Amino acid sequence: MPSSDLIPSLVYKINENHLALEAAIMELTLWVEQRGASEVGGNVRGALQTIDRNEEFIKMTLAVMMTPE
């Protein structure tokens, strides 16, 4: 299998890891906020907004890459 055939699978797995990390970070954010560190929680939520903004582009790119020619 040529290495170029592996690129869509690699990007898919990286995206899966990305989403898992986002979920874990959100869980930690909720935990921190429940303990009164709302400023820290707000900062983390701001950073997570970048993930949300990029998610749709990543999904569309994966769909294009995974479409058979």
The DSSP code sequence of the chain is --HHHHHHHHHHHHHHHHHHHHHHHHHHHHHHHHTT-HHHHHHHHHHHHHHHHHHHHHHHHHHHHHS--
Mean pLDDT for all residues in the chain: 86
Q: What is the mean pLDDT of residues 23-49?
A: 92
Q: What's the pLDDT at 17? A: 93
Percent of the chain with pLDDT over 70: 93
Claim: this prediction has a pTM higher than 0.75: no
Where do the domains of the chain lie? Answer: 3-64
pLDDT in tens, 5-26: 788 888 888 889 988 999 999 9
Q: What's the pLDDT at 8? A: 80
